Amino acid sequence: MKLAFCLLLLFAATLLAADKKPKAMRTKGETLFVEEFKSDKLDEKWLFNKGEDRAKFVVKDGALELDQGGAQGAVIWRAFDSPVQDASIQLLVKPWACNWIAFGFYEPGERPGGGRKLNIVVAKTGAVAIRDVKNQDSLKAVNTRNSPEEWQRVCFESKGDKITISVNDREVLEYKTELTTGEKAGVLINLYGGKGSIDEVEVKSLK
């Protein structure tokens, strides 16, 4: 009986650790939108390709679950009211059953997915990388050694040609590239290789 009770406590502690969300990072700028997925349904401002064989996006337990389903990946995006030059996005990521979750900004145009130059990739291995979308190259990466079962709070700041990436309130990457300059029309999030979750998306315009 005592062993069973100890195992139950261990299981409960594991669940609590996996669901623990790192505190929000303080970032400067004008807030463009904040999404905490508190409603039972996804806000209509978030767009994605619909169909039986497409990816699925479900608000579950106060977070957004992304499921690749029969599609090649799960892609979801949200436009800004008007384009901005410099911006930051901070969000909680949990790649619990997928290869990776990526996010970034897209340029003005008819195809949000085609208007991306780079992504920030959070892999289930614990790696966080700045990735050139067109050439599929990793420009710079770091291994945070974070578990895919635990929430990670990641912040991507794009100002001029400078990129700064912070994870759980700690700066882990800095990089300069022209790929991050120019107008940003919205934010796009995509997942590959299964299921994962995101929460507390905050996007700001930087001065």
pTM listed for this prediction: 0.89
SS (H, E, C) the chain: CHHHHHHHHHHHHHHHHHHCCCCCCCCCCEEEEEECCCCCCCCCCEECCCCCCCCEEEEECCEEEEECCCCCCEEEEEEEEEEECCEEEEEEEEEEECCEEEEEEECCCCCHHHHECEEEEEECCCEEEEEECCCCEEEEEEECCCCCCCCEEEEEEEECCEEEEEECCEEEEEEECHHHCCCEEEEEEEEECCEEEEEEEEEEECC
Mean pLDDT of successive 10-residue segments in the chain (207 residues)?
A: 46 53 94 96 94 90 95 95 97 98 96 91 97 96 96 98 97 98 97 98 96
pLDDT for 110: 86
100: containing domain: 2-205
What is the number of structural domains in the chain? 1
**In this structure, what CATH number is given to the domain that contains residue 72?**
2.60.120.560
